[in-house]
Amino acid sequence: MHDKKGDAVSRPFYLALYGLVALAVAMGVGRFAFTPLLPLMQADAGLTLTEGSWLAFASYLGYLLGALATIWLRAPPHVMVRTGLVATGLLTMAVGFVHGFGLWWVLRFASGLASALVLVYASAMTLERLMLARAGQLFGVVFGGVGAGIMVTGLACLALSSAGFESSAIWIAFGVASLAASAACWTTFRPMARIAAPHSGEASKGARGRWGRAEWTLITAYGLYGFGYIIPGTFLPVIARDLLGGTFASGWFWPMFGAAAFAGSLLTGRVSIARQRMALVACYFAEALGVIVPVILPDAFGLAAGSLLLGFAFVAITMLTLREARSLAAARHFDAAPLMGALTAAFGFGQLVGPPFASFIVVRLGGFGPSLMVAATGLAAGGLALWIMRR
């Protein structure tokens, strides 16, 4: 027995902090380091926008399959977290050592898979320990790792590129930093006496209930969210470069997005159950507004406002959706795991469609405006459907 109840009770903040570090590695580097590096790879590696969209597709496909696989995997959670962390660091480094679209595609696919393992199992382990310590309010700190990772990698990419480093060197630096961060939180993810299944809902009550309009509305809206957020989530630095030119200022909007996501995670962790559905509706409309603002105001102010709105609602929607799924399962007396799986599938499918769709529209129409308008419309439709469900 390696895990002791006293550890979780006496050091809940440190547990949340190490969970933050794990998610920062998995998401900030494993999934989203590609976003600020895409303009650099276009400039120094000859990557086209279409190729970039398919590399993003590879990462999101790996994430989707990895997340779905956790429903059936029976490996020890701490092994999956550690494996995912090491794999993220090594795969990130490898992108800098090789050249060629085919090799990059495989590496990005594998990195997406590894990031899903860390996200699911690390969040499950830390949540159980925080609940044991009666410190569940700190779970927002754990999910803040997504925004913190995005902010740090965005700022690092900006600094390193300004210092003259090419994209390959930055990939290697991110990989080394990921391995160092993984070592720092390594002992936190050790064997536990008991661990909830990653997608377990409230205690199963015989799966008596059936999905109704509310569950299918939540699934549909979450799929629209996956499609709507991922277009700026993949191309925001490219969009900023196209609007402002290749200026230093265009690189600041991605770390701004990350900082807002971090703040949104912390505040969402304090939203009460009674207000979570209204908060979810508000976040959908905020995300839609964040997507469309740069189209209406194609300048630095519009990009800044859009980045802040997008980032603030980014992780908040995921946190609130998972909480809503658990609430529905508890109220209707069915196991939340299948609903979590359906939500993951819908979200993952939306992510897969987004980047190739945006790339196709840019090639045909010459700009991101039309694809952003479609994305914003989808997010607004999801928010409206959830508002109707709330009533």
**Confidence (pLDDT) at 192:** 66
**Confidence (pLDDT) at 248:** 62
Per the document, the length of the chain is: 391
**Confidence (pLDDT) at 249:** 66
**Confidence (pLDDT) at 285:** 97
**Confidence (pLDDT) at 23:** 95
Q: Give the residue ranges of the chain where pLDDT is below 70.
A: 1-10, 192-209, 247-249, 337, 390-391
**Confidence (pLDDT) at 3:** 46
| φ and ψ of 18, to 5 deg | -70, -30
**Confidence (pLDDT) at 135:** 83
- Amino acid, single-letter form, for residue 246: G
Q: What is the pTM of this model?
A: 0.87
Pick the CATH number of 11-188 from 3.30.70.141, 3.40.1390.10, 3.30.70.380, 1.20.1250.20: 1.20.1250.20
* Domain spanning 209-391, CATH class: mainly alpha
Cβ pair 114, 91 in contact under 8 A: yes
> Tokens 């770390």 appear where?
255
Nearest to 95 by CA among 76, 120, 112: 112
Distant-in-sequence, close-in-space partners of 309: CB < 8 Å, separation ≥ 6: 260, 286, 287, 289, 290, 293
Cβ pair 348, 67 in contact under 8 A: yes
> Phi-psi bin for 73: left (phi > 0), alpha (psi -120 to 50), beta?
beta
CATH 1.20.1250.20 boundaries in the chain: 11-188, 209-391
